């Protein structure tokens, strides 16, 4: 199966249409989880004398750890939604393992991208494209941080320019969702994430056994 930006977007849209209210509900649940995490970290800030304007180090640590835990669940959920859209359940959002591998990969990839952007914009973009699938690989294959980052570099080779185009287009879709009174994000978010997950599956070569969301996709 060949990767293309249009096929990824189409997959996201067609898969979303199969269970639109389910995916909208999942978006609401994910939003509630992030709000709850923010409230917990704000509570930690207040304990240590901080506030919403002045975050404390303990509050930031709690926020990052909870954010990583939620992000793990979201990644696992959309991998399952991509592979089995008709049977995936909200319970898939609970996926706490392998937490430390995921956390380490997230930290190292973030540091690499930030350093790249500090040096020059272009190195930051290159680093982002190198490690864009690193956390997906941790959840999907349970590799360690270094192995996952190396594997992300390997599978994205030859696909980085189309991937950049996909990321830009997905960002525009999300912005459009925000402009529709914010409610549009409930639709834009699952479509964009399903499209991105499809890109990972195709580029990593793990989409061969996954049936397309719509028969028209098989032509791509």
Q: Global pTM?
A: 0.90
Q: How far is CA 139 from CA 116, 124, 151, in A?
A: 25, 24, 13
Q: Is the peptide bond before 94 cis (omega within 30 degrees of 0)?
A: no
Average pLDDT over residues 7-20: 96
Residue 118 CB neighbour total at 10 angstroms: 10
Above pLDDT 70, what percent of the chain? 93
pLDDT at residue 196 greater than cutoff 50: yes
Which residues fall within 8 angstroms of residue 55, CB to CB, at 6 or more apart? 41, 45, 63
120-173 pLDDT tens trace? 889 999 999 999 999 999 999 999 999 999 999 999 999 999 999 999 999 999
Vertex 139 angle, CA 138 and 144, to 5°: 20
38-79 pLDDT tens trace? 999 999 999 988 877 788 999 999 999 999 999 999 999 999
Report residue 60 as tokens.
């930031």
CA nearest 207: which of 154, 118, 140? Answer: 140
Helix, strand or coil for residue 68?
A: helix
């Amino acid at each position: 199966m060949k990767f293309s930006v249009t096929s990824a977007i189409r997959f996201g849209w067609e898969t979303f249409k199969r269970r639109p209210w389910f995916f909208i509900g999942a978006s609401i649940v994910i939003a509630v989880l992030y709000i709850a995490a923010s409230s917990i970290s704000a509570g930690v800030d207040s304990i240590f004398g901080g506030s919403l304007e002045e975050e404390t180090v303990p509050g930031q640590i709690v926020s990052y750890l909870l954010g990583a835990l939620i992000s793990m669940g979201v990644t696992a959920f959309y991998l399952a939604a991509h592979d089995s859209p008709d049977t995936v359940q909200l319970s898939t959002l609970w996926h706490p393992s392998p937490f430390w591998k995921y956390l380490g990969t997230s930290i190292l990839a973030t540091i690499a991208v930030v350093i790249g952007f500090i040096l020059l914009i272009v190195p930051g973009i290159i680093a982002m494209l190198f490690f864009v699938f690193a956390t997906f690989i941790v959840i999907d294959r349970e590799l360690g941080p270094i192995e996952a980052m190396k594997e992300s570099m390997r599978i994205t080779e030859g696909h980085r320019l189309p991937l950049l185009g996909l990321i830009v287009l997905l960002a525009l879709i999300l912005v459009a969702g925000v402009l529709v009174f914010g409610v549009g994000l409930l639709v834009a978010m699952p479509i964009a994430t399903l499209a991105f997950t499809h890109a990972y599956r195709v580029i990593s070569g793990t989409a061969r056994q996954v049936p397309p969301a719509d028969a028209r996709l098989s032509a791509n």
